[in-house]
Chains A and B, each alone.
Chain A
Amino acid sequence: MIVAANILDKSTFKGLFDDHYRPLCNVAFRISGDLDQAEDIVQDVFLKIWNQQDLLNVDQNIKSYMYTMVRNHALEIIRRQQIGARITDEILYLHTAANSDAIDDNEIEKYLILDRIYISIRQLPPKCAQVFTMAKVNGLSYSQIADNMHISVRTVENHMGKALRLLRAMLNNKITLILLFLTGLIP
């Protein structure tokens, strides 16, 4: 019996899981709209990575592999639901192999920053967090928020400014790096 060399040690694997579990669940959730199913998909992918390390090779970008697998899995599941059970497992396997149009590092970095913003919003002062969530996440206008919270539009603006400043400080140099890669995205 040939023993495959372990590419991942336990702590690296745990690190990957801790950093990427929630972002990955959200990638799957955005496609399938079912959180339980999304979690199952992500857990399957992690188990697959751990148990089939002999299928990975050293040069492979494991993160890109994870994200692409999760996305393709989720896509395949909804496709299968739409068509019915017509597709055989064999075709499913072909489609879920993570090779075509892989998710690259820049996109992964974006998912990670998004996750950091999500965590950091909770750390904002309560009013600040409320205003920011209403404006950005729920898409309310400043005057709607002002009405809602019985404060002036000016105060809403102040809260937004403060929220952005604090979020930037909390994310410290994470964004600086990605902006270097993404020059051109922002004028």
Chain B
Amino acid sequence: MNNNKPKILTANEASMIVESSVIKRRKKDARLKTYGRIAIGLAVSFLIFLFVSIFSKGIPGFFQYYVTLDVYLDRDRLDPKGDLSPESLYNGDARSIVLESLYKVINPKGRKEKKAAKKIISTNADVRISKMVLDDPNILGKTIPITFAVDDDIDSFLRGYIKRETPSSERRINDTVIKFVDKLSAENKISYKFSDYILTGSASRSPEIAGIKGAFIGSLLTLAVCFIIAFPLGVATAVYLEEFAPKNRITEIIEVNINNLAAVPSVVFGILGLAIFIGVFGMPRSIPLLGGMVLALMTLPTIIISSRAAIRAVPPSIKDAAYGIGASKLQTIFHHVLPLAMPGMLTGTIIGMAQALGETAPLLMIGMVAFIVDIPGGVTDPGTVLPVQIFMWADFAERMFIQKTSSAIIVLLVFLIFMNAAAVILRKKLERRW
């Protein structure tokens, strides 16, 4: 024992000590609160930064530059066979007709200048004319103003990403091209408007005509397959495990298994798709059916877990009431438990679907990364999905693809927001409290 023997403090002494310590302790308290605020501030500013950086690039991606030309639609040259069939139009001379109308405005001299002039208009111009003629053959033989997308380099130049000051040798477009573009601008031939291609175009190596329609439909088809497989299977499994399965060691293991499966990295599901669906069952690659099946495996645990939780949340009193009037177990489940648990199940399913919609890695492995121009017409046509399209575009070097990628991301995010909003509304609307 010490010499100055400790003694019990009186209330007054104690309160003096406490008073003296308060300022310091309050400061500490304020510090922790500030740390918390900083942490939330950081997280939210990351979020804002992410959105600003994507939207600032993506919104302009929905627009692009066009050049308007008066084109004489020469019947004989456009439709050499004269039967207005797609093949005939395909063999026609649309490209040079477009170029000739361009030359009329900018008057290129010599081969070199003409070569430069060819770079201005998108390679897609002839397809555009063929399509117009197919839609309305009466325009043949007339001279009408038509707008064409400009080439992506010209677009980037007009946006100011390719700078006039840069030495010609380091620019993607040379001085002659710039001279022509200036001339077109001076004649008011250049316009900036909502892109015809971003929402309705399909995959293309030329960024000015690339669009997300194919990928969007691919995503829809894939999600549909995923839903058709995962939802019934997931709900049926949940019902069985929750209501019928004997509670023993095996069901316990199964439960742990399903929980663990929800944590397995998504690439692993891609491997499974590759090894089993392609390797063993010999399914073709790149089709939405396969993508949907792989995503269904991935979302199955999520659906099972949330459905079981929803079933468990139905109060036993309701079941007892049904049993009490002589309903069988199955009738009780189908008439009372499932309708009450449905909002919870659907919410879980939508959340799982939203995950599936944003998933990329497993789909890369089952070949949905292939370059597919055609818009898929069914689940067995090769196709791609939005996230994979984003991944592919992000890899391309052309400046314009950065904007197009951001635009595609915006579409994907909007799609996701709709799904999540649907989940929230569903939960709010159908939620019952007991």
Does A pair with B? no
